[in-house]
Amino acid sequence: MQRAQPIEQILYISTVSPRETVDLPAILAVARRNNDADAITGLLMFNGKRFLQVLEGPQDAVERTFERIRRDSRHRAQVVLARKTVEQREFGEWSMAYRDRSHRDGAEIVNDICSKTAAANPNLRAELVAFARQLQE
Ligand SMILES: Cc1cc2nc3c(=O)[nH]c(=O)nc-3n(C[C@H](O)[C@H](O)[C@H](O)COP(=O)(O)O)c2cc1C
């Protein structure tokens, strides 16, 4: 029997390009459409200056998607913080969850990220929670 393709997970940060007015609803609409079609799940956070994104799914699809995202001129200085193969998805229920500073619900964001990432690797979880905390500042 053929083994299922491994699930690859990429966590990266990037910086919004100078003079770029970020149209997040547009980015999210395209991301969700493509990610649904490619069985990619994940999380995108934006603090007004930096993006933090987790992409996970079949290896080929994640590589292809990340290559497209890397070339996107709306952001720059993409730095991969973690790249690994996981046994199962850690963000399975999110086609591309999203949080930014307009989520003024403060502690609720941090709690949400904490509970949704309970199964995630502790280092990855710490990165996400720290970024989510920054959104409150
Ligand atoms: C911060 C950021 C995150 C993005 N995330 C995704 C994503 O998760 N999936 C995706 O397909 N495109 C994402 N994009 C958009 C891609 O860079 C690219 O514009 C898009 O995939 C092109 O899709 P199209 O050929 O269907 O128009 C993102 C762009 C930015 C700036």
Domains and CATH numbers, the chain: 7-100 (3.30.70.100)
Q: Could you read off the pLDDT of 27-43 as tens digits, one per residue? A: 999 999 999 999 999 98
Cβ of 50 closer than 6 Å to ligand 1, yes or no, is no
Distance from the CA of 121 to the center of ligand 1, in angstroms? 25
DSSP state of 21: -
CA distance 73 to 93: 29
Cβ of 103 closer than 6 Å to ligand 1, yes or no, is no
Distance from the CA of 18 to the center of ligand 1, in angstroms? 18
**3 state DSSP class of 90:** coil
Q: Could you read off the pLDDT of 92-125 as tens digits, one per residue? A: 877 777 766 666 555 666 776 777 677 778 888 8
Closest-lying ligand 1 atom to the alpha carbon of residue 14: 1
Confidence of residue 134 (pLDDT cuts 50, 70, 90): confident
Give Cα separations from 137 to 13, 25, 54, 104, 132 (angstroms): 18, 22, 22, 10, 10
Is 53 within 8 Å of 45 (Cβ atoms)? Answer: yes
Question: What is the pLDDT, as a whole number, of residue 131?
Answer: 81
